[in-house]
Chains A and B, each alone.
Chain A
Amino acid sequence: MSVQGIIFSNLHDKNIPELTRRRTMASVPYACRYRLIDFTLSNMVNSGITSVSVITHYNYQSLMDHIGAGKDWDLARRSGGIKILPPYMTAFSNNQNALYNSRLEALKSVNYSLSRFTSDYVVLSDCDVICNIDLNDMINDHVKTGADITMAVKRVLLTKESCKRNVVVDSTEDGRITDVNAYPTNVTGYRDINLNILVMNREYLQSVVLDAIAHGYTSFNRDVLSRNASRRNYRIYKYDGYFATISSMEDYYLHSMELLSSQENRDLVFNVKNRPIYTKVRNSAPTKYSASSNVRNSLVADGCVIDGTVENSILFRGVKIGKGTTVKNSILFQDTVTGENVFLNCVVTDKNVVIRDGRILSGHESLPFFIEKGKMI
């Protein structure tokens, strides 16, 4: 049984414009040393999927830099391995082949590559999913039930507010999807939400894309799932492990902190036996705590030098915390440097931010103070 992976690197970029102005959703930094795509890629690699295509849109330079030849995920292969599918624009382009906006359009734009796949099955995944899932189990389920599409779902408690950010899936008792609601407005209670991870038969995927091209379909949820649910065998796969999806800056902050506050969550993501999360190796030195350091409840990557106080915070690689500085409830991206006697609370700094001596900055949990890449304050 051969399986091809397809990763959509851009679909949810609009959700956190602060972080995706200059990068794809896939390359948004997360949890000290990862990029969001690491979770999806690692899930695929840990499930034995060694041929992965990443569909890109714009701003994919940082993604290419991160992935390189794919070595760090063991995807630098002679046969298969990782391929980046850049936006398909022909010369003399007109609005006929403008950039895509949706999942189905993205698939249409890489139809040529899709048509050359020979695997039995295809796993499609978005990049905003933070989880450690055994895709093999899902694929086996897909094969056993003979489904056309199997969709990973998780049962969550929806409120009037939170339902708007999710796709709600209705299914029969035996798991057959009856409806997919992409724009729920007043759905509350325990419902299944779409995790944006799909398993499809390769040939069926190819026919869906050709059909969409022929009919000018644009939405996977509306034009494929909802339209065909009554005729085709679309099924859910219930996942009940840790799952987070990033749909706003607030979400980003919340889920990051959730990982910090709970050993259980960290274990479910990072310490699953035989399923490590891989990322690009940066070769940082270990982190140094000086005699004046005082660190409590924090996640710290390698390469940091800490001379000050850090509480409930997430420090990425190469962060420097000066003497007399206090950092609370904050997320500091790679190579952020704070001077002496700085005070930070609920701050998110992008890469290479410099905060000079004596600065006092504070946001709030509901609105973290964000400092963009390379700024000096």
Chain B
Amino acid sequence: MYTKKECVAMLLAGGQGSRLYTLTEKTAKPAVPFGAKYRIIDFTLSNCVNSGIDTVGVLTQYQPLVLNEYIGNGQPWDLDRMNGGVMVLPPYQGSKSADWYTGTANAIYQNLNFINRYDPDYVLVLSGDHIYKMDYSAMLDYHKKMNAAATIAVIDVPIEQASRFGIMNTEEDGRIFEFEEKPKEPKSTKASMGIYIFNRKLLADYLIADENDPNSSKDFGKNIIPAMLAAGERMYAYSFSGYWKDVGTIQSLWEAHMDLLGDDPVFNLYDADWKIYSRSSVRPPHHIGSDAKVVNSIVTEGCEVHGIVENSVLFGGVKIARGAYVRNSIIMNDTQIREGATVSYSIVDSDTEIGAGACIGEAKESGKGITLIGSGLKLPHGATIPAGDMVNEQYLADKKIN
């Protein structure tokens, strides 16, 4: 017996995120660590909870182990509910067919049975790839007010970047009359955020029709939205203003971390009215040693800092030895930076050991790009990694660094 829900959220978390290189070698992109104690998906999940949405299907496909384990029963987000809560939805084998999720629309299509159990009026489709705080309930109110069939959240982007996005061309009242995917000559700056609210029954109809179309690529942006527009459905753009950052590249992931720093950070994690929830690991308080210097940085539980840390983000259990110097960098869980090592403008993944006196990357000002060190690596004493390199086991073997 299921109780009716007004709105069910479907969170697309199957993305591979190949532009994050080794960070997503063994994890799905939404499970990539972010902001010292979070993972990317925490922001979307917390948005759901803070918006009063308590039924969330998480669609997984690529490397789901870490993500499955992380979400667990949903307790950290208060999503361990008797009715609803969070449910991980992997692709499955049915009696008639078995298939991977072949596109975003297909993923939702394959889980219409999950949605229908709660008999919702609306379905909120989300992706777990962005860092932002958004009240979906305000968007739902707008959707209802406009009596829309579908509402798409949009954000103003600079016109010169608009051709990288799906652009919504709208009437004055927000009604969408045209959708252009990555237009060469954009007519508006309203970029789709990949956040949709649909009337459930209508969405089901379009998904079923799309599924039966052999030429469709089963994608919301490419197929479902254009089909609905072509049929003249009432579709509205909901303008969102605020911080919204795709963290799909090493560069943007680094930038998003830097947005957390400063006296008046671009993205504020300390907002008591919009808490970001995460699954905590059990760690003691962090310790700043007598010779340490920590400025303009974020540090979390379990860290031991004895060196110098500037403009950086330290995840749980990171150890920075005496004389080590970390600047403009992101150091993930349980990584150790030994005596006298220098880490500049780099992202160092978890459980890595940077040997004494090693030199990783170069100052940002050199213009040579961000250095990435994969997880679980052991860089020997005095190793030097040139700026901009992406280091994994293969790299160490090729360069004979061991």
Interface residues of A (CB under 8 A from B): 31-33, 71, 260, 263, 266, 269-271, 276-278, 281, 283, 285-303, 305, 307, 314
Q: Complex Cα distance A31/B285, Å?
A: 8
Q: Is the interface of A mostly helix, strand, loop or mixed?
A: loop
Query: Any chain A CB within 8 A of the CB of B110?
Result: no
Task: List the A side residues contacting B270 at CB < 8 Å.
Answer: 285, 288, 303, 305
Tell me the nearest residue of chain B to A279, going by C-beta.
B282
- Contact-residue size bin, chain B (C-beta under 8 Å from the other chain): 35 or more
Q: Check if A296 sits within 8 Å of B290, measured CB to CB.
A: yes
Check A289/B299 contact, CB under 8 A, given A283-B278, A297-B290.
yes
Q: Check if A276 sits within 8 Å of B282, measured CB to CB.
A: yes
Provide 30 A-B residue pairs closer than 8 Å at the C-beta atoms, listed in order of the A residue. A32-B284, A33-B284, A33-B301, A266-B284, A271-B284, A276-B283, A277-B284, A278-B282, A281-B76, A283-B76, A283-B278, A286-B37, A286-B299, A287-B298, A288-B265, A289-B296, A292-B295, A295-B292, A296-B288, A296-B289, A300-B286, A300-B299, A301-B285, A301-B301, A302-B285, A302-B300, A302-B301, A303-B270, A305-B270, A307-B263
Q: Check if B269 sits within 8 Å of A285, measured CB to CB.
A: yes
Q: Complex Cα distance A266/B283, Å?
A: 12
Q: In chain B, residues 253-292, which have Cβ atoms closer than 8 Å to a Cβ of chain A?
A: 260-263, 265, 269-270, 275-278, 280, 282-292
Task: List the B side residues contacting A281 at CB < 8 Å.
Answer: 76, 280
Q: Check if B288 sits within 8 Å of A300, measured CB to CB.
A: yes
Q: Complex Cα distance A295/B299, Å?
A: 12
Tell me the nearest residue of chain A to B300, going by C-beta.
A286
Query: Any chain A CB within 8 A of the CB of B333?
Result: no
Tell me the nearest residue of chain A to B282, going by C-beta.
A276
Q: Complex Cα distance A292/B261, Å?
A: 12
Task: List the A side residues contacting B297 at CB < 8 Å.
Answer: 288-289
Q: Complex Cα distance A241/B24, Å?
A: 42
- Can you list the 5 inter-chain pairs with the closest CB atoms, starting with the nearest? A32-B285, A286-B36, A270-B284, A285-B269, A286-B300
Q: Check if A277 sits within 8 Å of B290, measured CB to CB.
A: no
Name the residue in A33, A266, A285, A303 with the highest tally of chain B Cβ atoms < 10 Å from its Cβ: A285
Minimum CB–CB distance for A244 against chain B, Å: 15
Q: Complex Cα distance A71/B80, Å?
A: 12
Q: Complex Cα distance A290/B263, Å?
A: 6
Q: Complex Cα distance A18/B240, Å?
A: 50
Minimum CB–CB distance for A39 against chain B, Å: 12
Tell me the nearest residue of chain B to A271, going by C-beta.
B284
Q: Complex Cα distance A33/B316, Å?
A: 15
Q: Check if A293 sits within 8 Å of B284, measured CB to CB.
A: no
Q: Complex Cα distance A271/B295, Å?
A: 26
Task: List the A side residues contacting B17 at CB < 8 Å.
Answer: none
Q: Check if A293 sits within 8 Å of B290, measured CB to CB.
A: no
Tell me the nearest residue of chain A to B279, going by C-beta.
A281
Query: Any chain A CB within 8 A of the CB of B161?
Result: no
Query: Any chain A CB within 8 A of the CB of B75?
Result: yes
Give me 7 other A-B pairs in contact (C-beta within 8 A), A289-B295, A293-B294 excluded. Answer: A32-B285, A33-B301, A281-B76, A283-B278, A289-B299, A299-B285, A302-B301
Q: Complex Cα distance A31/B292, Å?
A: 20
Q: Complex Cα distance A271/B269, Å?
A: 28
